[in-house]
A and B are shown apart, each in its own frame.
Chain A
């Protein structure tokens, strides 16, 4: 392969590796394991460049979701549960540029800051620790239905923050 042919991947890596690594590190809490996920995610993108559909959302958001899923799989030492071809991510803010992502991240942290502690905790346990609603219910001693509602309304609250 000619050296220039890998430049597109290198450009995408330079643009999105910080996001991918930060998500993987948040989930796994281990730099070596996060680096492995970083490698895997970009290799998947290289092997299957057609799996991302820019008409359905930003590449940054898609990579964040793919990374989170792969990191949770690694955390739970299980085989990947979702094929990347099946993951479509629709997100309203434009997250193509670093500046847009920074603004969006700040806004999300603001919403999380105003969220009731139990709701935020349920959302983060589900998203960053990969816990099922029954595991969260068992850990917190709250009813399953309450946990389900908290997770959904937490996600919807993030969406609404960008609809204003």
Chain B
């Protein structure tokens, strides 16, 4: 039995997150060094995906869509919350700073009052110490809140950059004839080589044929940016195809190719669009 065969059954369980304990740890150690087993793991997950996709059920309730879009909008609006938290932190810190002078002022007149006054001041000092501790706890809380909100803000900003960054170039490609009007929208972020392409009203294709998306650089030949086939309604999606880093796009185009796609097209351009 080879080493790979030894792990074969455990890999299937691992793909389903059903492998626990020592077996899991041993397999993870092996996966770190074995590309063949990593590839088999990806395929086993794909086999599981087929099982998942075989499920049928009702469509999600309509409110779920609005709930998602509301949540996204709320995340984007989270930026001011951080500023508010920082403001609260600043106020709390000011309060702490104000606490010290009051101790000094009260200490300034205790000397003339004897033991009774001393006892009173000790009680007062204890009270102030307690108050100061509470303020410190508040400050720690605000710091924690601010830190957490800062992390959330960073996440939101990361996502927002992918679509809203001033450097994002948007491209809409349309067909020469109507109706129905095939249309595709490309959201391209050059500095992250990130591309989301969504197409609608695409005519169906003969078997063995597919649409191929092309990134047209400012210089040089078009770069293949994914192959896709539309569904029964003419819709299709390409998300983050492999692209070379940092290519400045003049536009995007679509050709019809064999379904495996080609590296360099000789076919006529069916749709083309430049940045908006």
Known: A23-B55, A39-B71, A152-B12. A1 touches B46 (CB 8 A): no
The 8 A CB mask of B126-157 against A (1 = contact, 0 = none) is 00000000000000000000000000000110
Q: Does A10 contact B (CB under 8 A)?
A: yes
Q: Assess whether A12 is in contact with B185, with CB atoms less than 8 Å apart.
A: no
Q: Does A89 contact B (CB under 8 A)?
A: yes
Size bracket, chain A contacts: 35 or more
Expressed in whole angstroms, the Cα–Cα distance for A31 and B194 within the complex equals 34
Q: Assess whether B46 is in contact with A159, with CB atoms less than 8 Å apart.
A: yes
Which residue of the partner chain, among A8, A99, A112, A158, contacts B198 with CB atoms under 8 Å?
Answer: A8
Q: Does B105 contact A (CB under 8 A)?
A: no
The 8 A CB mask of B195-232 against A (1 = contact, 0 = none) is 01010000000000000000000000000001011111
Residues in B with CB closer than 8 Å to A118 are: none
Shortest B148–chain A CB gap in Å is: 15
Q: Assess whether A11 is in contact with B198, with CB atoms less than 8 Å apart.
A: yes
Shortest B181–chain A CB gap in Å is: 16
Shortest A152–chain B CB gap in Å is: 4
Residues in A with CB closer than 8 Å to B58 are: 21-22, 25
Residues in A with CB closer than 8 Å to B163 are: 5, 8
Q: Assess whether A97 is in contact with B229, with CB atoms less than 8 Å apart.
A: yes
Q: Assess whether A56 is in contact with B42, with CB atoms less than 8 Å apart.
A: yes
The 8 A CB mask of B226-240 against A (1 = contact, 0 = none) is 101111110111111
Q: Among residues 16 to 45 in chain A, which have CB atoms less than 8 Å away from a CB atom of chain B? A: 17-23, 25-26, 31, 34-35, 38-39, 42-43
Q: Assess whether B237 is in contact with A11, with CB atoms less than 8 Å apart.
A: yes
Q: Does B59 contact A (CB under 8 A)?
A: yes
Q: Assess whether A1 is in contact with B164, with CB atoms less than 8 Å apart.
A: yes
Residues in B with CB closer than 8 Å to A74 are: none
Q: Assess whether B196 is in contact with A89, with CB atoms less than 8 Å apart.
A: no
Q: Assess whether B69 is in contact with A6, with CB atoms less than 8 Å apart.
A: yes
Q: Assess whether B230 is in contact with A91, with CB atoms less than 8 Å apart.
A: no
Which residue of the partner chain, among B13, B52, B198, contacts A64 with CB atoms under 8 Å?
Answer: B52
Q: Assess whether A50 is in contact with B18, with CB atoms less than 8 Å apart.
A: no
Which residue of the partner chain, among A21, A81, A91, contacts B57 with CB atoms under 8 Å?
Answer: A21
* Given A39-B67, A101-B53, A155-B15: 18 more A-B contacts, CB < 8 Å: A1-B76, A6-B69, A6-B72, A10-B69, A11-B198, A11-B237, A22-B55, A23-B53, A25-B58, A96-B236, A98-B233, A99-B232, A108-B54, A132-B18, A133-B18, A148-B13, A151-B18, A155-B44
A-B contact pairs, 16 of them (CB 8 A): A13-B68, A49-B194, A49-B240, A52-B239, A54-B240, A67-B52, A81-B17, A88-B45, A97-B232, A98-B233, A99-B232, A104-B53, A133-B13, A133-B19, A145-B9, A159-B43
